[in-house]
Structure 1
Amino acid sequence: MSRLAYGIQLPVQSQSTLYAEGWEAAAGAADLVEIARAVDRAGFDYLACCDHVAVPRRLAPAMSTVWYDPVATLAHLAAVTERVRLLSHVAVVGLRHPLLSAKQYATLDHLSAGRLILGVGAGHVREEFEVLQVDFERRGAVLDEAIDALRAALGPEEFPEHHGKLYDFADLGQRPRPAQERVPVWIGGSSPAAVRRAALKGDGWLPQGDPRDRLPAQIARLRQLREEHGIEAPCTIGAITEPLYVGRADWHIGRRTLAGAPEEIAESLRAYRAMGVHQIQVRFRSRSRVELIDQIDAFGAEIAPRLD
């Protein structure tokens, strides 16, 4: 079995009340740069950035309106890191024409020397779709075709071609091309439709909040669908872990937080690997940028080597 990879959804760039720490409200670009550099040094496989175009007032108290643009943010961080991959988790690509998304993400992949992982999802905020004149009720079908169109537009051809119900293009050239021959597309979501989409169209699956006890059945369903449709290519199966804190905290880190000595944490995380997960996305409790970077460093040095 291959090694258990690990990545991180960056703080600061999205600040939902579900997970943002208090110190993030006053943080900005300099903090993101230092954290990204720490993630790169610590051997993380990817860093990730979310996507919302505009948050309606009714949701702002819970979601906040702080959502950095993923392409701009990942491009900025590509310039200050060396090896870590760059994941959109997840881009709501149905909000934009595929040729527009392809131009942005192909350029990002080109500038970063092939470090892009394109994570995509259907979206859930009705007002975003309505203001951009995209059919919210049909967002699943929109995403399905957007993935197909993006496959073509991010492929090797300078003049990509796609003919579908929603998008139709040919004889329109886009350069630079992506540095990668095939940009990996990871598909987010845990609904039956999302799992099916990941199984049939994805190079990877990004579950959204599935607890440990639900993951085995979801993974089995994904594998069954791929087998039934004769898909033999590998699929990177992900999981989002519980919040982590390396060591014993002298402050309240929440009852769900996985904390303790490195071997204790590593033993718990190895259970993901045993159930068929290939990569875990981690998040650390912290009271400052300094404490977060200390946690990132400790994970890379003391826990990562114990994951396999």
Structure 2
Amino acid sequence: MLTFPTGALVYGIQLPVQSQSTLYAEPWEAAAGPAELLAVARAADRAGYAYIACCDHVAVPKRLAAAMSTVWYDPVATLSFLAAATESVALLSHVAVVGLRHPLATAKQYATLDHLSGGRLVLGVGAGHVREEFDALGADFDRRGAVLDETIDALKAALGEEEFPSHEGERFSFGGLGQRPRPAQRPRPPLWVGGSSPAAVRRAALRGDGWLPQGDRREALPGKIERIRRLRDEAGLAETPFTFGAIAEPLYVGQPAWDVGPRTLTGDPARLAESLRAYRAMGVTQLQLRFRSRSRAELTDQLEHFAEEVPAL
């Protein structure tokens, strides 16, 4: 199972182009497509980034389309496409809204992805937030947290080493049904749980192999990390590997000649490294980076400059 142990700090990226929410998409992404996505993924792979990530929405209602856009590539299709064009970078769903689908269907897709990629999958999961999406697919929006809890348990069984996995729960029951190919990772690929609500933090601590916070500024992280540690200790899980994640402020290596926004960290590599090491001091073990850019070329340059010039985190 892919793990990022305590004491180290690795970094990855959410890919551009594949999701275009106004919260983070750059203007150049609107006209971009597979070629740009592929170029960025390959650059991250060459530069030694820990992972590349892809989001998940099946359909976006009109009331949210102006803010969220309707550009959301399917994570399994996208990560499979990129797996064939990269060599070592891990493939993260950040996050798959697994409550929209039966866990056996989800397991079939992601087990195949892990098999085809040689064991590079990290399955990030989350509860979702768009009611219309759930309603259209016949999924339970009001109880999506409870559904996610059981879905995680079912996925752990379905992605394990057994050819005929079994699970008995309130909503899902299966057994005697074989699924091959099995995942390449043993005993199974890691499941990271996304979300920053109290329920999501508890779910990550007790059911996940890692935590993917959503939108937390750095000052909010230490308390939540401590809560996860306490919950895992109380549950007898303290010795089990766990990956603490964080999303860094927007970055720009060097001095930008354009307006990169007030929250963007800029400057020479040593200054950026000093700022980002604060995450490691909190206990974070994987850090998601986002670089401001005006084109694919500028983004790949930023990825490469960071990897080559920023001192070890």
TM-score (norm 2): 0.97
Could you tell me which residue of structure 2 aligns to residue 298 of structure 1? 305
Is structure 2 residue 235 aligned with structure 1 residue 229? Answer: yes
Identity of aligned residues (%): 73
Q: Using the TM superposition, give the Cα deviation of residue 199 of structure 1 relative to its aligned residue in structure 2, in angstroms.
A: 0.3
> Contact 2:7 / 2:283 at 8 angstroms: preserved in 1?
no
Could you tell me which residue of structure 2 aligns to residue 268 of structure 1? 275
Superposed, 1:118-267 pairs within 5 Å as 118-181=123-186, 182-231=188-237, 232-267=239-274
> Contact 1:240 / 1:280 at 8 angstroms: preserved in 2?
yes
Taking the aligned partners of 1:216 and 1:101, their CA distance within structure 2 comes to: 33
Is structure 2 residue 37 aligned with structure 1 residue 32? Answer: yes
> Contact 1:51 / 1:92 at 8 angstroms: preserved in 2?
yes
Superposed, 1:40-59 pairs within 5 Å as 40-59=45-64
> Contact 1:263 / 1:306 at 8 angstroms: preserved in 2?
no
SS at match of 1:30: helix
Aligned CA RMSD, in angstroms, stands at 0.7
Taking the aligned partners of 1:196 and 1:90, their CA distance within structure 2 comes to: 17
Q: Which has the higher contact order (CA 8 A, sep 6+)?
A: 2
Residue type of the partner of 1:88?
Answer: S
CA deviations on 1:264-293 (whole Å, 9 max, x unpaired) are 000000000001100100000000000000
Runs of 4+ in structure 1 deviating by more than 6 angstroms, as ranges, are none
> Contact 1:245 / 1:260 at 8 angstroms: preserved in 2?
yes
Q: Using the TM superposition, give the Cα deviation of residue 3 of structure 1 relative to its aligned residue in structure 2, in angstroms.
A: 2.1
SS at match of 1:249: coil
Q: Using the TM superposition, give the Cα deviation of residue 135 of structure 1 relative to its aligned residue in structure 2, in angstroms.
A: 1.1
Residue segments in structure 1 that go unaligned for 5+ positions in a row: none
Could you tell me which residue of structure 2 aligns to residue 113 of structure 1? 118
> Contact 1:94 / 1:122 at 8 angstroms: preserved in 2?
yes
> Contact 1:118 / 1:184 at 8 angstroms: preserved in 2?
yes
Taking the aligned partners of 2:17 and 2:99, their CA distance within structure 1 comes to: 25
Taking the aligned partners of 2:139 and 2:105, their CA distance within structure 1 comes to: 15
Taking the aligned partners of 2:250 and 2:262, their CA distance within structure 1 comes to: 10
TM-score (norm 1): 0.98
> Contact 1:40 / 1:84 at 8 angstroms: preserved in 2?
yes
Q: Using the TM superposition, give the Cα deviation of residue 218 of structure 1 relative to its aligned residue in structure 2, in angstroms.
A: 0.6
SS at match of 1:89: strand
Could you tell me which residue of structure 1 aligns to residue 3 of structure 2? none
Count of residue pairs brought into register by the alignment: 306
Residue type of the partner of 1:212?
Answer: R
Taking the aligned partners of 2:284 and 2:295, their CA distance within structure 1 comes to: 30
